[in-house]
């Protein structure tokens, strides 16, 4: 075994094999893969192997299309069978809403050049003769989808990698990670140490425990997933794969028989207290009780299934994530990469995923926009096992449901609460959630002031309220108060802070104290990594306010570039500061009675920050120590603590200082006609 390598991939499933293959294809020869048992002994060997390309986003769809490109040619390239069957796919619609979903997908597919066409129920049956057309309104047919043999694919990828110079060590368990000064320095295995600066955690459902070796939280949950295999019964060998989302099931042909699985409503998380050490190449016991719902549904669509002999019910665990997307990219620990959590799409995604991750490692930036899969999209609240589990169960059990624009997840809520939460609730807020924070989308009592005739047609009008328009007008014509506490806030401190930020930001930010600058931080290719405002609070102190979901990512980017001499310190202060935004032409006038400071345009112009004391007695009952750091349109009251963990841990927000300030008589007078407004007016 080598003592050092340019990169070490952990995990010999289809994910790890694909990354290893692509690293060698892109010119890195000195790379190794460590697998604790044999290749494919995790989730890969028991995969149903369906490969569908059309997904909910451009990057994911491109990735799946890249997989198919590879699967078409790999067999010829390495001389090993891959079992790729390009039989096409059908997706059925058995309600008008589903038909609308298919029409949208057909339009979406065109933008990628995917040859997806809408066909009638009878045409679908011609392609898949055993199906019943009862209740089917139509189907989407994508002839370039198919299925593949998971083990053959993995062995072919491994062979391709070996030919490119890679070494593969099976029966080699990674037992430790060397991390020095926030960077990976090597891995320890039960067969010795390998020095390296790049480690890829492709451990599938084991990715959580491998992440912990490096102090990185990888929020994957093993979920048991089942499908049955029938004995061959003379069915055509070229049946397309078929999904009937209303019935929660998928099917494909297998040697003249059928494979049938699905996403049950009562999913089964597995091994939450740790995966057994010897769980290699194993399955879970058949669980017919859980599978029965799917079987009954499948018989509705393929009545003959009742008469086919079942050879086996496969029950295997697979890594799911709390938002149903892959977890890819470098973590907070430099050089420690994650490529896991494939949510039962690992076969479909592996070819393109391996390419994306290998390019990302070598070039430093991904060739596709990978934000939705970025390992740094999860905030620290995903360290809560209960929350992560609740979200993951919800993702799995609603997998096939139609997702309308603006749909909000419900599991694990409420989690993070602003001090204004109770007041917003009293005001009739319709809450949404982002990064664990409860945020008002709109206030339903404002609906009566809106215009119902503006409700968007079709899908976009499903989750909507006339209050949105009413609040928009109020903000444009007078002023409106927003709770922006969820915005992530990062402070940069120290004698080197100004120079450091000047180096990293593309705009000039080290201006005079009080200046607010909108800027980006760019990567080496000139692509945007971060997009936020920077406020200079003092000579050696800056505050960054960035999007709610970007805190973890932006802080990781900032910390990665900190100088080694200790002259700059970066800290996430999100949960320390509440934030209220007062916007609109009457904002200054409304705020003025609360402070002795001059809020006129000359004294307090656009993009400036000031620290203002509340005028004594302006808000009866408000604590004296509450001070506001204001910029035009936004208040960041110091001393008003938010509760990041909210109700669940029994730590309700401290007395609602911010709310009381709003309720004070003087403010109430000033704000007559001032509605609370929700987030549907702006995006972050
Ligand atoms: C029943 C079922 C049906 C499925 N059907 C489909 C489908 O139709 N289409 C589709 O696209 N996907 C499907 N999937 C999902 C797909 O199988 C997975 O997404 C994919 O196989 C995951 O690959 P992986 O490489 O991430 O993980 P794995 O295959 O689990 O590989 C991880 C590897 O890491 C190794 N390892 C763990 N810890 C260590 C360590 N400390 N040191 C060294 N090695 C370690 C393990 O031994 C394992 O081999 C299905 C999954 C299941 C369970």
Burial of 557 (0-12, 13-18, 19+ CB in 10 A): middle
Pair of tokens at residue 395: 């993702």
Q: Which of 140-149, 399-408, 571-580 has the highest mean pLDDT?
A: 140-149
Cβ neighbours of 460 (radius 10 Å): 12
Asked if residue 659 has pLDDT above 50, the reply is no
Residue 673 confidence (pLDDT): 45
Asked if residue 620 has pLDDT above 70, the reply is no
Tell me which residues have their CB closer than 6 angstroms to ligand 1. Answer: 10-16, 34-37, 41-44, 46-50, 150, 173-174, 202-206, 210, 225, 227, 280, 314, 316, 318, 340, 342, 344-348
Q: To the nearest whole percent, how much of the chain has pLDDT over 70?
A: 90
Q: Tally DSSP H helices, then E strands, for the chain.
A: 16, 32
Residue 636 confidence (pLDDT): 44
Q: What's the CA-to-centroid distance between 204 and ligand 1, angstroms?
A: 5
Asked if residue 624 has pLDDT above 80, the reply is no
Pair of tokens at residue 326: 């892959």
Rg of the chain on CA atoms, in Å: 28
Pair of tokens at residue 109: 């597919």
Residue 380 confidence (pLDDT): 85
Nearest to 41, CA basis, from 158, 186, 193, 167:
158
- Out of 15, 32, 43, mutate this one to test ligand 1's pocket (max ligand atoms within 8 Å of CB): namely 43
In eight-state DSSP terms, residue 647 is: G
Nearest CA to ligand 1 atom 3: 47
List Cα–Cα distances, 388 to 140, 199, 317, 431, in angstroms.
34, 25, 17, 20
- When mean pLDDT is compared across 6-10, 488-492, 557-561, 674-678, the lowest value belongs to 674-678
pLDDT tens per residue across span 318-364: 999 999 999 999 999 999 999 999 999 999 999 999 999 999 999 99
Domain with residues 488-576, CATH architecture: 2-Layer Sandwich (3.30)
Residue 676 confidence (pLDDT): 62
Q: What's the CA-to-centroid distance between 13 and ligand 1, angstroms?
A: 5
Pair of tokens at residue 2: 């080598």
Which residues on adjacent β-strands are paired with residue 91?
140, 243
Q: What's the CA-to-centroid distance between 46 and ligand 1, angstroms?
A: 8
Asked if residue 56 has pLDDT above 70, the reply is yes
Mean pLDDT of 540-549: 97
Question: Closest ligand 1 atom to the C-alpha of 34?
Answer: 43
Q: What is the mean pLDDT of the chain?
A: 91
pLDDT tens per residue across span 665-675: 333 333 444 55
Nearest to 360, CA basis, from 378, 341, 338:
338
Q: What's the CA-to-centroid distance between 25 and ligand 1, angstroms?
A: 22
pLDDT tens per residue across span 7-21: 999 999 999 999 999
Residue 613 confidence (pLDDT): 76
- When mean pLDDT is compared across 50-59, 436-445, 632-641, the lowest value belongs to 632-641
- Out of 346, 375, 400, mutate this one to test ligand 1's pocket (max ligand atoms within 8 Å of CB): namely 346
Asked if residue 649 has pLDDT above 50, the reply is no
Asked if residue 560 has pLDDT above 70, the reply is yes
pLDDT tens per residue across span 93-144: 999 999 999 999 999 999 989 999 999 999 999 999 999 999 999 999 999 9
Pair of tokens at residue 363: 């070039």
In eight-state DSSP terms, residue 614 is: B
Asked if residue 480 has pLDDT above 80, the reply is yes
Asked if residue 385 has pLDDT above 60, the reply is yes
| Cβ-Cβ contacts under 8 Å for 34 (sequence gap 6 or more) | 8, 9, 10, 11, 12, 169, 172, 173, 174, 187, 189, 194
Residue 50 confidence (pLDDT): 98
Domain boundaries, the chain: 7-83+145-220+317-375, 413-451+463-481+578-597+628-684, 488-576
Residue 628 confidence (pLDDT): 47
pLDDT tens per residue across span 509-522: 999 999 999 999 99
Mean pLDDT of 39-53: 97
pLDDT tens per residue across span 183-230: 999 999 999 999 999 999 999 999 999 999 999 999 999 999 999 999
Residue 632 confidence (pLDDT): 45
When comparing pLDDT for 618 and 34, which is higher?
34
Question: Closest ligand 1 atom to the C-alpha of 189?
Answer: 42
Residue 680 confidence (pLDDT): 64
Nearest to 675, CA basis, from 407, 450, 408:
450
Cβ neighbours of 212 (radius 10 Å): 12
Asked if residue 626 has pLDDT above 50, the reply is no
pLDDT tens per residue across span 255-314: 999 999 999 999 999 999 999 999 999 999 999 999 999 999 999 999 999 999 999 999
* Contact (CB, 8 A) for 578 and 418: yes
Asked if residue 442 has pLDDT above 70, the reply is yes
Q: What's the CA-to-centroid distance between 388 and ligand 1, angstroms?
A: 20
Give the pLDDT band of residue 627 (cuts 50, 70, 90).
very low
Residue 619 confidence (pLDDT): 60
Residue 675 confidence (pLDDT): 53
CATH class of the structural domain 413-451+463-481+578-597+628-684: alpha beta
Give the pLDDT band of residue 679 (cuts 50, 70, 90).
low
Domain with residues 7-83+145-220+317-375, CATH architecture: 3-Layer(bba) Sandwich (3.50)
Residues shown for the chain? 684
Q: What's the CA-to-centroid distance between 203 and ligand 1, angstroms?
A: 8
């Amino acid at each position: 075994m080598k003592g050092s390598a340019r990169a070490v991939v952990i995990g010999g499933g289809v994910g790890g094999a694909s990354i290893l293959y692509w690293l060698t294809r892109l010119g890195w020869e000195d790379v190794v893969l460590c697998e604790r048992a044999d290749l494919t002994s995790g989730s890969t060997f028991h995969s149903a192997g369906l490969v569908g390309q059309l997904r909910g986003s451009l990057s994911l769809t491109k990735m799946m299309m890249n997989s198919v490109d590879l699967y078409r040619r790999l067999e010829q390239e390495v001389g090993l069978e891959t079992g790729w069957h390009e039989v096409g796919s059908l997706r059925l619609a058995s309600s008008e809403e589903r038909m609308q979903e298919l029409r949208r997908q057909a339009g979406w597919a065109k933008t990628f050049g995917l040859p997806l066409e809408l066909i009638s129920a009878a045409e679908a049956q011609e392609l898949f003769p055993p199906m019943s057309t009862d209740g089917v309104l139509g189907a989407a047919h994508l002839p370039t989808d198919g299925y593949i043999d998971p083990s053959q694919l993995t062995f072919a990828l491994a062979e391709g990698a070996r030919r490119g110079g890679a070494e593969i060590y099976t029966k080699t368990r990674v037992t430790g990670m060397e991390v020095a000064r926030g960077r990976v320095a090597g891995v320890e295995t039960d067969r010795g140490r390998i020095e390296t600066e790049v480690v890829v955690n492709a451990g599938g459902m084991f990715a959580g425990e491998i992440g912990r070796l490096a102090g990185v939280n990888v929020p994957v949950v093993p979920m048991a997933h089942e499908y049955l295999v029938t004995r061959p019964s003379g069915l055509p060998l070229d049946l397309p794969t078929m999904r009937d989302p209303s019935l929660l099931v998928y099917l494909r042909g297998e040697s003249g028989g059928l494979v049938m699985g699905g996403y049950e409503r009562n999913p089964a998380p597995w091994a939450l207290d740790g995966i057994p050490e010897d769980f290699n190449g194993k399955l879970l016991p058949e669980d017919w009780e859980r599978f029965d719902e799917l079987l009954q549904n499948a018989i509705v669509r393929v009545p003959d299934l009742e008469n086919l002999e079942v050879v086996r019910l496969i029950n295997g665990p697979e890594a799911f994530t709390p938002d149903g997307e892959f977890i890819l990219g470098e973590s907070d620990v430099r050089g420690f990469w994650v490529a896991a959590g494939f949510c039962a799409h690992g076969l479909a995604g592996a070819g393109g995923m391996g390419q994306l991750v290998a390019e990302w490692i070598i070039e430093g930036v991904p060739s596709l926009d990978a934000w939705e899969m970025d390992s740094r999209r999860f905030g620290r609240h995903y360290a809560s096992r209960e929350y992560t589990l609740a979200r993951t169960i919800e993702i799995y059990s609603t997998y096939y449901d139609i997702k309308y624009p603006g749909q909000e997840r419900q599991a694990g809520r409420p989690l993070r609460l602003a001090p204004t939460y109770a007041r917003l609730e009293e005001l009739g807020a319709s809450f949404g959630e982002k990064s664990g924070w409860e945020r008002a989308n709109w206030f339903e009592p404002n609906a009566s002031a809106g215009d119902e005739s503006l409700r968007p047609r079709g899908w976009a009008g499903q989750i909507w309220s006339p209050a949105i328009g009413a609040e928009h007008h109020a903000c444009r014509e007078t002023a409106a108060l927003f709770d922006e506490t969820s915005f992530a806030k990062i402070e940069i401190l120290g004698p080197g802070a100004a120079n450091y930020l000047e180096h990293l930001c593309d705009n000039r930010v080290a201006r005079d104290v009080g200046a607010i600058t909108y800027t980006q931080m760019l990567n080496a290719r000139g692509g945007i990594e971060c997009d936020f405002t920077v406020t200079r609070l003092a000579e050696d102190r800056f505050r960054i306010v960035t999007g709610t979901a970007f805190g973890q990512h932006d802080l990781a980017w900032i910390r990665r570039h900190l100088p080694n001499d200790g002259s700059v310190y970066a800290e996430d202060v999100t949960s320390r500061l509440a934030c209220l935004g007062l916007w609109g032409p009457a904002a200054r006038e409304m705020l003025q009675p609360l402070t002795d400071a001059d809020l006129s345009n000359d004294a307090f112009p656009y993009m400036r920050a000031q620290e203002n004391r509340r005028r004594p007695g302006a808000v009866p009952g408000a604590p004296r120590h509450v001070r506001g750091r204001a910029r035009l349109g936004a208040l960041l009251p110091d001393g008003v603590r938010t509760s990041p963990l909210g109700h669940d841990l029994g730590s309700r927000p401290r007395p609602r200082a911010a709310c009381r300030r709003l309720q004070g008589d003087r403010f109430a007078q000033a704000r007559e006609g001032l509605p609370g407004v929700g987030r549907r007016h702006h995006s972050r």
